[in-house]
Amino acid sequence: MKKTLISLLLVVAMLATMLCVPAFAEEKAAGWNDVNAEGYVYPDYSGETLRFMWWGSDTRAQITTQVIEMYEQLTGIDIQYEYYDGTTYWQIYQAYQAAHDLPDVVQMGNNWATYYDSIIPLNSYVEDGTIDTTNISSAMLATTTNQANGDITGISNGTNARCFAYNPAIFDECGVAYPTDYWTWDDFAAAARAITAKTGNPAITTIEYNSLVFSVVTQSKVGANFYTMDGSDFGFDGDTSSLAYIIDLLVTLMKEGVIADYGIQNEIGTNVEADWIASGDSAIMMLSSNQFKALSNVAAENGISLKLCTIPRMYADGQSGMVVRSSQQLSISANSTKPEIAANFINFFQNSIEANKILNCERGVSINSAVLEALIAANPDDAVNNEVYRMINVIGAFPDAANSSPAEPTANEEISNVLKNTYIQGYFYGNFASAQECADAFWAEAQEIWARYETAE
C-alpha cells in the first residue's frame, strides 16, 4: 500500500510538472511587443523612474521631450532627462561613467567601442521580442553590432551620411554650377574660390577636417580605408601622399579666406543651427544628413532654401569615400537597475509610428521600414526630408559605400583629435615646412597612439 501511494504521488507530481512546463517554456509570438499593433496595451510603469541622456540641437531637444511626455502619459512612468551639445555630452558621460551613475538610457555614437564597458548588449531583449525588430533588417541591426562577438550594442536611431549642404541661390548669384554627385576636389576648390571672390565672405564655414582626411584615404585607391572594417587594426598602407594632398588643399583654402578661419569655426562650434549658411552669409558647410532638418528650419526663417550634395572625390570616376551608417544609437548603461524598462522605452522610441512622426528622422533616416513608409506617406511634399532620403539613396548606391564603413576603434578619438588639433591646425600656423612633412608626422604619431592602446589592453 505504501509503495502504491508513493507511485501515485510520483505520477501526480510528473503530471503537474508536465502541465506546468508549457506555461514557463511558451515562447511569445514574433512581434508581440509591436507598439503599432491594433489594441496594443502599454505596460503600467506607474511609480517607476527612468533616466535618459542625449546630445543634439535645440530642435532635437524639443521633439525628444515631446516623445518622452507621450511615453509618460502612455505608461505612467517618470522620465528624468538631460541633454547637452556634442562636446559637453561626452565630458558629462565620462564623469557619470567614473561615478557609476550613468542614466539608464544613453545616446551613443559610432564610438561605442570606446565606452564598451559602460553599456550592456541588447541581444536578450531583441531575441525575446521586448525590442521588436520585425521591421528592421539584419543589415540595419548589424550597424550597431560588435562584429567580433555579435553583441548588439544599441538600436540605431537612424542612418545618415556625412555630406555637404549648400545654398543654390548663392551659387546662382555667383554664376557657379551646382555640385554634382561626382564632383571633384578641384571642382570644389574652384567653386568655393569663385563664391568668395564674388561675395567677400568665406564660401565654406563648418568642415570636419579629420573626417575628410579619412575619406580621401578611401578615395585614393580601391579597397583602401584608414582602419580595417572591424576596427582591429589600421587599413592604411602608409602611403601618406593622399593625406598630404587633402591637408594642403584645406589649409590653403583657409589661408585664402575661402574656408572660415578658426575664430569663426570656434564661434559656430558644434551647433549646426548657428552656421553662417543659415543666415545666407556662406554657401557651403559640412554636416551629417540627420542635421539637415534642424539647419533647414533656421534657414527657412531667413527665406533660405538649402540642398545637399556629396563630399568631393579625388577622381570623378574614382572612389566616393562615402558611406551610409548608423547616425547614433540608444543603448542601456551597465549600471542601470531597470534594463527591461529601458528596453521597452527604446522599443517605443525607435518603433512607434506616432512617436516618429514627431521625431521625423531628425536623428537619421529610420531603420524601421514600417515607420519610414508611414512618414513618407504622411509627408509626400516634405522637401527637406525628401532631400535627405535622396542623398542617402545616392550615397548608398555608390559601389564602394559597402566597403568604406570601418568601425571606430578605441584609439580613434585620440588619433582624430591630434590630426585636427596638432597637425592640420599646426600646418596652418606654420609648424611644418610642408603638408607632406605634416602628413608623415601625423602617421608616425597615429601608430604610436595605436601601440599605446594595444599595450593598455
162-322+400-456 fold:
D-Maltodextrin-Binding Protein; domain 2 (3.40.190)
Instruction: Calculate Rg over the CA atoms of the chain.
Output: 25
- CA–CA separation, 331 vs 161, rounded Å? 21
- CA–CA separation, 77 vs 68, rounded Å? 10
Alpha carbon 131 to its chain's center: 20
> Do the domains 49-157+327-378 and 162-322+400-456 sit in the same CATH topology, yes or no?
yes
Q: Look up residue 190 and give its amino acid.
A: A
* Contact of 328 with 109, CB cutoff 8 Å: yes
pLDDT tens digits for the chain (457 residues)?
Answer: 433 433 443 444 444 444 444 444 456 787 899 999 999 999 999 999 999 999 998 999 999 999 999 999 999 999 999 999 998 999 999 999 999 999 999 999 988 888 999 999 999 999 999 999 999 888 778 888 887 788 999 999 988 889 999 999 999 999 999 999 999 999 999 999 999 999 999 999 999 999 999 999 999 998 888 998 777 899 999 999 999 999 999 999 999 999 999 999 888 887 889 899 999 999 999 999 989 998 999 999 999 999 999 999 999 999 999 988 888 999 999 999 999 999 999 999 999 999 999 998 889 889 898 998 898 888 888 899 889 988 987 887 888 876 665 667 889 999 999 999 999 999 999 999 999 999 999 999 999 999 999 886 6
- CA–CA separation, 167 vs 293, rounded Å? 14
Domains of the chain by residue range = 49-157+327-378, 162-322+400-456
Q: 49-157+327-378: which CATH number, 1.10.472.10, 3.40.50.1980, 1.10.10.10, 3.40.190.10?
A: 3.40.190.10
C-alpha cell belonging to residue 140: 540595419
